[in-house]
Amino acid sequence: GADSHTRTMRRLGFRPDQVPIKFLKAAVDGEASQQVIDMIEQTNPTPQVVFIEGSDMLVSDPNSLDVVMPFMHEIQQIASHFHIAVVGSCGAPKTKPKEGYAAKRDTIFGSAVWSRMSETIVTIQYPAGDDTANKREIAILPRNAKAEQFTTEFEDGRLVIATPEAPISAE
């Protein structure tokens, strides 16, 4: 909500009005994508980037190819029509430590269509499955370029590239 946005922006060192936010009403599938269009059209100037938090919650069945594919196609059409970048977040399936996925693109919750129809995937994971750790492993997976991976850590509320730990001496 608005209060969460304000707290997050302040923690990141931004004024809340520097990063405008709009909230969708509860909707799924075509109704949700239409709300995205309506919000973009109501924004002046047209944003260059639209971030959709919880894209997987905007479809009636995030596991269904028949539901996710049309939604992703609509999002692609929105990006193309408005000449903008659309960034969406999706959850991750629950896994036990050491029971992960071989391919990082497979770590997205629901249908494989989410990652198959996305230009670039960014995963953020806890090191060694420790969700209380200060560090995060970030992988950037472009469709047509070399993947990149970074170890980051929180510093003053922001993720920054972590300083490599010095090897332990055997002396």
Look at 33-42, 68-77, 83-92, 105-114 and tell me which has the smallest mean pLDDT: 105-114
Give dist(CA 101, CA 95) in Å, integer.
9
For the chain, the helix, strand and coil percentages under 3-state DSSP, each to the nearest 5: 35, 20, 45
Q: What is the pLDDT of residue 33?
A: 96
Q: What is the pLDDT of residue 95?
A: 62
Q: What is the pLDDT of residue 167?
A: 65
Q: What is the pLDDT of residue 111?
A: 83
Please write the tens of the pLDDT for every residue from 19-58: 889 999 999 999 999 999 999 999 999 999 999 999 999 9
Q: Please, which residues have CB within 8 angstroms of residue 170's CB and are 6 or more apart in sequence?
A: none
